[in-house]
Amino acid sequence: MANDCFVVRPGSGLRGGSTVPGDKSISHRAVMFGAMAVGTTHVRAWLAAGDTEASLASIQALGIRVERLSRNELVIHGGAFEPPKSYLNLVNAGTGIRLLAGIMCGQPFPSVLDGSEQLRRRPMKRILTPLQMMGAAISGTNDRAPLTIQPAQMQGIQYDMPVASAQVKSAVLLAGLFAKGATTVVQPGPARDHTERMLSAMGVNIVTEGDHIVLTPGATLKPINLTVPGDISSAAFPIVAALLVPGSDITLTGINLNSTRTGLIDVLHAMGADLTVTETGLEGGEPVGTIRARHSVLKGTQVGGAKVVEMIDEFPILMVAATQAEGETVVRDAQELRVKETDRISVMAGELRKFGAEITETPDGFIIKGPQKLTATVAEGHDDHRISMSLSVAALLTEGQSTVIDARCAGDSFPGFAGTMAALGMDIQQRDLE
């Protein structure tokens, strides 16, 4: 049981400017790919959070020297890995374990990848199947972590991915770096493409044509100089809070606007949100820009198909927005939400019901009719960062003081969440439970 919480009281609106911490997906990839590149990779604005620190510790356990110039600035001296002295502990990080599994399948020594009880519950067959098809000697424990890997020569394959998952795509492509012949991944939807962008910037022969991604091995990875853009999945919390609380007007700068990640912005626009998005340039091969969000009267919407993967991590906060939108919000094709850090459909529905919300769960989504009046309560984050932060935003819409038990997990992706939100004017404190 967590012994810390967010205490939230409604306020008079969020105002001002802010940044958010570096993108989690890009920060995982920066340390892993930088470790494989021969030479010195310099990373600024790196996300120092629970999940990404686990990836960093893992590459250090593989003998890679990393200079920490500050909390968020790393110099990675990449090159050949050494056999680790113990298992690699990815803690709660699904991206960490799945991507590193692809890399470890290509190493000339055995390894074991494991993590927390929460990570051990998450499905790994989705990576085991294609990696085994390539000839990797990888197995799980009932298809879950711990994962055990032995050295094996892999062959490139064409893999038709059954789910649009960037983690699966990346695990296969990374194993492809060590395989004989080209590896092709065919994706059923536009899953985030940070792996393709970063490997290409490092000199890997990787080409995307429509839904086919083809990686031809052979090149030595070249080190890069990278400033990680702000994580749009973190920006989602202040954005939705500003849209929902009267009097709000905020501007977030340096946010990653990669179109494989901006599904929430499109959906909020369709709901009538007053959001202005301005692209200002490129950072580390990714488009970045400014998002201004002002209080808006939202209306219900429908989300399904390809849009789902472009906002897969933003459904918990969309559920909060939907409770305040006029009419019905219907989400379909989002069954992947059930295998994230928690079953995010049922956990969010259960916790929002504590605020008095009415939510209909469906096997692949939910239906919410709004606007609904929420009442202050004590809710729980279930050791899932995006649940804790979404519930804190829901607490703003009540008339009293709410407590969200389990605040520390917000630091898995958004260290300083309470401080950032408080600086924008939200009445939020992170406290130990009495």
Candidate residues 166, 177, 214, 308; the one interacting with ligand S3P per rule CB under 6 A: 166
Minimum separation from the CB atom of position 200 to ligand S3P (A): 16
Candidate residues 167, 260, 296, 398; the one interacting with ligand S3P per rule CB under 6 A: 167
Looking at the Cβ atoms of 218 and 363, the one nearer to ligand S3P is: 363
Task: Assess contact for 74 and 31: CB atoms under 8 A.
Answer: yes
- Distance (Å, rounded) from C-alpha 348 to C-alpha 192? 24
The angle formed by the CA atoms of residues 155, 285 and 222, to the nearest 5 degrees, is: 50
Per-residue tokens: 332: 């379909």
Number of H helices, E strands in the chain: 13, 26
Interactions with ligand S3P, residue window 4-33 (CB under 6 A): 25
Q: Is 313 a catalytic residue?
A: yes
Minimum separation from the CB atom of position 311 to ligand S3P (A): 10
- Expressed in percent and rounded to 5, the helix, strand and coil fractions of the chain are 35, 30, 35
Looking at the Cβ atoms of 124 and 250, the one nearer to ligand S3P is: 124
| Residue 403: partners with Cβ closer than 8 Å, 6 or more residues away | 5, 6, 7, 8, 377, 378, 379
Minimum separation from the CB atom of position 434 to ligand S3P (A): 33
Binding of ligand S3P by 95 (CB under 6 A): yes
**Residues 23, 114, 313, 406: which is the catalytic one?**
313
DSSP 339: G
Task: Render 367-381 in DSSP notation, one character per residue.
Answer: EEEE-------EEE-
Residue nearest to ligand S3P (CB): 25
Looking at the Cβ atoms of 293 and 337, the one nearer to ligand S3P is: 337
Q: Amino acid letter at 285?
A: G
Minimum separation from the CB atom of position 25 to ligand S3P (A): 3
Q: Is 361 helix (H, G, I), strand (E, B) or coil?
A: strand
- Distance (Å, rounded) from C-alpha 153 to C-alpha 179? 7
Looking at the Cβ atoms of 167 and 377, the one nearer to ligand S3P is: 167
Task: Assess contact for 157 and 150: CB atoms under 8 A.
Answer: no
Minimum separation from the CB atom of position 313 to ligand S3P (A): 5
Candidate residues 92, 154, 189, 192; the one interacting with ligand S3P per rule CB under 6 A: 192
Longest alpha-carbon distance in the chain? 62
Looking at the Cβ atoms of 126 and 294, the one nearer to ligand S3P is: 126
Binding of ligand S3P by 312 (CB under 6 A): yes
Binding of ligand S3P by 337 (CB under 6 A): no
Secondary element (H or E) of residue 408 = none
Binding mask 267-306 for ligand S3P (x = CB under 6 A): ----------------------------------------
Total interface residues for ligand S3P by CB under 6 A: 11
Q: Which of 241, 349, 342, 305 is nearest to 16 (CA)?
A: 241
Task: Assess contact for 34 and 268: CB atoms under 8 A.
Answer: no
Candidate residues 143, 211, 333, 336; the one interacting with ligand S3P per rule CB under 6 A: 336
Binding of ligand S3P by 313 (CB under 6 A): yes
Q: Which positions touch ligand S3P (CB under 6 A)?
A: 25, 95, 165-167, 170, 191-192, 312-313, 336
Active site residues: 313
